[in-house]
Amino acid sequence: MSSNHHLPASIKEQLDRVDSTGEYSGALPKITSTSKRTYYVKAGTLRDAEQWAGEAESLKEMERASPGIAPKLYSFGNLSSGNPYFISEYKVMGHLNSSVAVVLAKRLATELHQFESAHGFGFQVPTYCGPTRFANGWFDGWSKCYAAMYGTLIQRLRETGRHERLCSKGDKIIQRCGFDPHSIIPILLGKMSIQPVLLHGDLWNGNVGVDQTTGEPVIFDPASFYGHSESDLAIARIFGGFPQSFYDTYFKNHPKSEPQAEYPVRAELYESFHYLNHTVIFGVSAPTNSGCKSRDKVVPGKLRSAGGKEDGHGH
């Protein structure tokens, strides 16, 4: 095994700092060394730097919270050219099955979603859910943090010059936060006792798998932040692919927040966030896969009822 010539010298230099063997084979992004370790390696452009930094920080936080639940980050930074590089553990993965889904649910409930921030809600660097950038920063309350993230989506939609009706619905959730006692987010979230715990941030079935070597669950491509644990399950419900035993196990180990009677309405609020992001990314307001959860509106009826009014008409 040799053929180091296939690697850019700057990438080999970074690999040598991680693995002292100095001999590698394969092609980006899968590189194997003579030590039998396999790495996921990517080299990008300046436009990738911020997004990769968010992914790197997310992986580091998840390793602290729940060791092994995500690929381990070995190195991230800038090459001499100023362009970013990224080196992490390479995992051969299969599709999530029902038995491993139960293991994942318990690890999320008892490890990742128990790992609290000392700084409040949010995250230390910007992260990207798909191509959508969230500035993050720190907030002293979940309502403020979530309203800021929701507002990012509304702003991105408004910049397209389309979806004005959808933006107006989103405004009814965002503009009144903290000012009007009848606004949706404070009614649902403001009265709750919510701890800022580490979230994956984009936990759909395409970002989950089974390590073919260990048989353990793996989650990847995170867009992490510290927030309400329930919100991390929203996109999983939308796209499906998780058995009912996943949710049963999760809530057995991490009960729904009080008041539990309002959980269905909170779930719709958290799902609407991802429907909005889907519109930002693809220009349509809902996933079109037949396996996806069906829905009629980005701001569902239960949410409008929770807010008290829509378009000046009482419910």
The answer to whether the beta carbons of residues 83 and 44 sit under 8 Å apart is yes
The answer to whether the beta carbons of residues 69 and 112 sit under 8 Å apart is yes
Q: Report the amino acid identity of residue 103.
A: V
Strands (E), the chain: 24-27, 30-33, 38-43, 73-78, 84-89, 93-94, 121-123, 127-129, 132-134, 137-139, 197-199, 208-211, 217-219, 225-227, 309-310, 313-314
User: DSSP for 223-234?
Assistant: --EEE-GGGGGH
Catalytic pick among 16, 140, 171, 202:
202
Sheet with 93-94: strands ordered across: 93-94, 208-211, 217-219
Q: How far is CA 42 from CA 28, 88, 250, 263, in A?
A: 6, 9, 34, 41
**Who contacts 250 (Cβ-Cβ below 8 Å, separation ≥6)?**
105, 106, 108, 109, 233
Q: What is the CA angle 139-141-147, rounded to 5? A: 80
> In the annotation, is 202 catalytic?
yes
Task: List the catalytic residues.
Answer: 202
